[in-house]
Structure 1
Amino acid sequence: MSKKIAVLGTGAIGSSVGADLTKAGYDPLLIDQWPEHVEAMKTQGLRVNMPDERLHTPVRAVHICEVCGMNEQFDIVLMTAKSHDSCWMAQFIKPYLKPDGFLVSMQNSLNDEWIAPIIGFQRDVGCVVELSAEVFEPAIVKRNTTHSGTWFALGELHGRITPRIEELAEILRSVGKVDLTTNIWGAKWTKLIANSMLQAPIGVLGLREWEATEIPQVFDFCIQLGREATEVGTKLGYRIEAIYGLSPEEFTGSTDDVLKKNLITLVTHIGREARNSVLQDHLKGRYSEVDYLNGLVVKKGKEAGVPTPLNEAITQLTKKIQQGTLKPDRSNLSLLEELMSDLL
């Protein structure tokens, strides 16, 4: 019997996933809160433009308010919304998840920490995503990573490999490569380290990842952010996990060796056209996930008794952009240099 699948929060990532699953015959329901995007998907289908392929497919799409009129439950819900929308969306979709169904947080940060208590730990499957995409026009997605460059890690929160994540892996192989892990929490923290290095500081500069990380001062700034995040994770008991499809042997060495591998691999895989999600939020004039990236490192650092001055500073600098008192621009490099000088 085929699984009933919903993609909840179909922005750039959710639309990319939803289009591939539709093309593969899984017939997912795409649920989103952007009215123009939903209407365009209904009437025009979904266009996903990749470096090596252009996909145009009809999709089943509904506005989030339409879900309330449905008499349907799902086996699998793929949550691809922003981290700050996770709690209310989990509460919202809970009645529409079958008793033996499960939700997959295909998001940045450690969303399972606050999603699992809402929907039930046994109904939460962890996921790490490597997929870069952008959506600035309704129903038109610019996907920066090809299918061969897209990667997921799936894992149960309790660490065992189960039939349901093996089945989910087969489904998601329509979108990209999939690995199963017994250390999903470590994998998620490892990705959080990468995001803490790249998302906020590069968003402040208004640059693409490859442009920013070729600037020596920026690269050093990113690595220092990663050092803080690594120290916090170590103190809390997270084990670094090889991600992006790399082997454990490729993810070994000193702390700085691993940080550089983490950063360079992600920047290389997402390509030269990619703009990260925090920068996209700045360009759209909306709230970013910084509180759930660098801000989460700061919060966890306080819990662990580990100082995180640079992560705290870049969080506050990002909030100045959100408040409209600073614009994302390369000239902000001087601010990053000042932070490095003052705090280290």
Structure 2
Amino acid sequence: MSQPILIWGAGAIGGTLGAAFIRAGEDVIFVDNVKDHVDAINEKGLKIVGPIFEDTVQARAYLPEELEGAYQRTFLCVKAHHTEAAARSLVQHLPADGYVVSAQNGLNERVIARIVGEHRVIGCFVNFESDYLEPGVVQYGGHGAVVIGELDGRFTERAEDIYQLMRQVEPKAMITSNIWGFLWGKLIYGALLFGTALTNDSIADVLENPIARPVLRRLALEVATVAAINNIRPEAFDGFDPSAFGPLASPQQTETSFDDMVAQNRRSARSHSGIWRDLAVRKRKTEVEAQVMPVVEIGRESRVPTPLASRLIEMIHEIEDGKRPLDMANLEELANAAA
């Protein structure tokens, strides 16, 4: 039997991946910093609910300080703003030939590489629907794109191994020479979601709103322009084409993309984004600092101004701190940031 797979972060993404790997016959060990979640997995197993499959899988789970041993294959699945702390903890469990697969949102591969070494990081893009419901319970809500790729674009045996493993989660998983393109494509989409989360309206309602569309288009254009100036070609995924928000996009392309996203979100069981739930329901920090700030920083290094992205970060923090309500007026205020 192959060595155990270490899943660092047993929440929505990590729990879904780990359960699928276990169902495929792999030995999986979970690490999570929520004691109640760790205890529930050890006592009752990890329960997966939702339309894809429902099962309770058995696995060992540990708090970070309890883990011992070394693991060649580690999937890092924590929230983006916890990446650095998690990477510094897991590096001591990473052997010389080990590697980390970053199954997260954002450009976290850059952070992990600074800690464990770039040669020990494999890029990963995931877009399936999942959610942490309660200790020991994760919802796998729907299929979505899954893409694996080496950071330097090479096709390697280890990337092929991870690709075959990810097909146990998503049969249509892909391996690519342009993993950065997928990550930046999702950053463009993510900027739109952060924009919708400034309001209490559903994703579809905001994207359909003719007042919201111009500012959301300019916000996404900032991200796309930073990518373009750095010779990154954003990739399309799950019906979203980031080129519709790029520097060369026509107004009609953008409007069509908005219409397509509205139709897709009208069909979704989830009316609001996870970002909105963090702000409105869970009352906790979002991933805005870890996801959007790198765009601002890379833009600054590349001499690409990002006034909307910068102001978006400030406004999300104000909402997190209880200093700003969720309201459509926030998008109107954001529009003034570029004036």
8 Å contact from structure 2 (residues 224, 247) kept in 1: no
Structure 2 CA distance, aligned partners of 1:215 and 1:136?
31
Structure 1 CA distance, aligned partners of 2:219 and 2:308?
6
Deviation at 1:266, TM superposition (A): 10
Deviation at 1:286, TM superposition (A): 1.8
Is the alpha carbon distance of 1:311 and 1:247 closer, same or farther for their aligned partners in structure 2, counting shifts above 3 Å?
A: closer
Is the alpha carbon distance of 1:62 and 1:264 closer, same or farther for their aligned partners in structure 2, counting shifts above 3 Å?
A: farther
Give the match for residue 45 of structure 2. Answer: 45
Give the match for residue 112 of structure 1. Answer: 109
User: What pairs with 1:1-344 in structure 2 (closer than 5 Å)?
Assistant: 1-67=1-67, 70=68, 72-145=69-142, 149-176=143-170, 177-198=172-193, 200-244=194-238, 254-255=248-249, 257=253, 261=257, 264=260, 268=264, 271-273=268-270, 275-282=272-279, 283-328=281-326, 332-341=327-336, 343-344=338-339
SS across alignment from 2:98: strand
Deviation at 1:251, TM superposition (A): 11
Structure 2 CA distance, aligned partners of 1:136 and 1:187?
28
8 Å contact from structure 1 (residues 21, 175) kept in 2: yes
Structure 2 CA distance, aligned partners of 1:294 and 1:266?
23
SS across alignment from 2:310: helix
Deviation at 1:144, TM superposition (A): 2.4
Deviation at 1:10, TM superposition (A): 1.3
8 Å contact from structure 1 (residues 244, 266) kept in 2: no
Is the alpha carbon distance of 1:74 and 1:52 closer, same or farther for their aligned partners in structure 2, counting shifts above 3 Å?
A: closer
8 Å contact from structure 1 (residues 144, 271) kept in 2: no
Q: Deviations over 1:319-343 (max 9, x none)?
A: 0111111243xxx102212322563
Structure 1 CA distance, aligned partners of 2:216 and 2:44?
41
TM-score, normalised relative to structure 2: 0.89
TM-score, normalised relative to structure 1: 0.87
Is the alpha carbon distance of 1:248 and 1:208 closer, same or farther for their aligned partners in structure 2, counting shifts above 3 Å?
A: closer
Deviation at 1:248, TM superposition (A): 11
Deviation at 1:222, TM superposition (A): 2.4
Q: How many residues in Structure 1 have an aligned counterpart in Structure 2?
A: 334
Letter in 1 for 2:276: L
8 Å contact from structure 1 (residues 156, 165) kept in 2: yes
Is the alpha carbon distance of 1:5 and 1:208 closer, same or farther for their aligned partners in structure 2, counting shifts above 3 Å?
A: farther
Q: Which runs of 4+ in 1 moved over 6 A?
A: 245-253
Q: Deviations over 1:93-141 (max 9, x none)?
A: 1121121111011111111112112111111101111122222411222
Is the alpha carbon distance of 1:49 and 1:215 closer, same or farther for their aligned partners in structure 2, counting shifts above 3 Å?
A: farther
8 Å contact from structure 2 (residues 185, 242) kept in 1: no
SS across alignment from 1:104: strand
Is the alpha carbon distance of 1:279 and 1:250 closer, same or farther for their aligned partners in structure 2, counting shifts above 3 Å?
A: closer
Deviation at 1:5, TM superposition (A): 0.7
Is the alpha carbon distance of 1:313 and 1:252 closer, same or farther for their aligned partners in structure 2, counting shifts above 3 Å?
A: closer
Structure 2 CA distance, aligned partners of 1:152 and 1:133?
13
Structure 2 CA distance, aligned partners of 1:79 and 1:98?
15
8 Å contact from structure 2 (residues 217, 245) kept in 1: no
Letter in 2 for 1:168: I
Is the alpha carbon distance of 1:4 and 1:188 closer, same or farther for their aligned partners in structure 2, counting shifts above 3 Å?
A: same
Is the alpha carbon distance of 1:53 and 1:213 closer, same or farther for their aligned partners in structure 2, counting shifts above 3 Å?
A: farther
Structure 2 CA distance, aligned partners of 1:188 and 1:91?
22
Structure 2 CA distance, aligned partners of 1:155 and 1:85?
22
Structure 2 CA distance, aligned partners of 1:78 and 1:139?
19
Q: Deviations over 1:148-207 (max 9, x none)?
A: x23211111111111111111111111113111111122211111111121x22222244
Identity percentage over the alignment?
Answer: 29
Structure 1 CA distance, aligned partners of 2:163 and 2:74?
14
Query: Structure 1 stretches of 5 or more lacking a match?
Result: none
